[in-house]
Amino acid sequence: MKNRFPNYFTVIAIIVFSLLQATNSFAAKEVPGEDSSRHRIEVDAGYSYLKFDETHYGDRSLDTNFNQESLNFQLTYQLFLISGLLYTRLDAQYIGVLTHSSVDGSRVFLLNGNGSVGLIVPGTRPLNLTLAAEYYYTRPFTSSDNFGADAQDGVQYYPLLDYTRPDGVLSVYFKYPLFASISNREEFSSGIIFRFLFNRPLPYPYAAFQHAVILKADFTLTKTYFEAEDGSEIKSRVQALTFSVGYNF
């Protein structure tokens, strides 16, 4: 497969430059009182590398393996309550723009949606422990019959552990669901976030409400087990590595 990195990084560089220029027209965001509710909107775009491994167990085993590169877009809305300890969050993500696959005719376009409620456990800083409940929906669209994954939705409960610097510039996080409404799905996520703030630094979690250009690197591993129309069992493994740049409003 032809290397597409220069094309993607050119697009990302243009987005970064545009966001930096746009900040000149924004005033520093006023941070409300400690007991006030506060919200934020984040828009991200970037590069995704996905690796698909799928095995069909039937009269004859069949393996499907390929990888693809594409652009991704994500929109996040987050509302904090009770002095920043309780939050609700909505995420929508689409992966599949300018897609290039290692196998001709095998492309997957992903639509993901999440809604979550989280409680940040007091007294756990600088390591911040969050207990969260999340409803997720994921819908793959395929260009061929080589990849048989179908739409899935469910509820999962997980601890989210992250370290955030006192100035809010750097965050590292780990997410691993412990309980789920369906037993045929496993997921693990980790990542790192850099925030380039445009006003005075604030302690966690208040830095989340400042205007900032955001750089992210995220890795997600998802395993699913389901049944095909012919009754055969299918085991799917998707690895996603994403680099993105965004702006926090």
Report yes or no on 213 lying in a domain: yes
Task: Answer whether 130's CB lies under 8 Å from 162's CB.
Answer: yes
Report yes or no on 107 lying in a domain: yes
The DSSP code sequence of 45-89 is EEEEEEEEEEEEESSS-EEEEEEEEEEEEEEEEEEEETTTTEEEE
Quick check: 208 pLDDT over 60? yes
Quick check: 172 pLDDT over 70? yes
Quick check: 219 pLDDT over 50? yes
Residue-level pLDDT at 120: 85
Report yes or no on 32 lying in a domain: no
Each residue's pLDDT tens digit, 27-80: 344 444 544 457 889 999 999 999 988 887 765 556 678 889 999 999 999 888
Q: How confident is the model at residue 146 (pLDDT cuts 50, 70, 90)?
A: low
Residue-level pLDDT at 202: 65
Residue-level pLDDT at 18: 54
Tell me, yes or no, if the pTM score tops 0.75.
yes
Q: What is the mean pLDDT of residues 137-157?
A: 77
Quick check: 217 pLDDT over 90? yes
Which range, of 34-43, 56-65, 147-156, 239-248, averages the lowest pLDDT? 56-65
Which two three-digit tokens encode residue 57?
A: 């167990």
Residue-level pLDDT at 73: 96
Report yes or no on 171 lying in a domain: yes
Which range, of 28-37, 159-168, 181-190, averages the lowest pLDDT? 28-37
Report yes or no on 242 lying in a domain: yes
CATH number for the domain that contains residue 130: 2.40.128
Residue-level pLDDT at 2: 45
Which two three-digit tokens encode residue 99?
A: 């897609």
Quote the domain boundaries for residue 156: 5-27+37-248
Q: Which of 110-119, 160-169, 183-192 has the highest mean pLDDT?
A: 110-119
Report yes or no on 115 lying in a domain: yes
The rounded percent of the chain whose pLDDT value lies above 70 is 71
Candidates 102, 220, 101; CA nearest to 158 is: 220
Task: Answer whether 126's CB lies under 8 Å from 170's CB.
Answer: no
Number of domains in the chain: 1
Q: Could you report how far apart the first and last alpha carbons of the chain are, in Å?
A: 38
Report yes or no on 195 lying in a domain: yes
Residue-level pLDDT at 29: 45
Candidates 208, 214, 213, 216; CA nearest to 243 is: 216
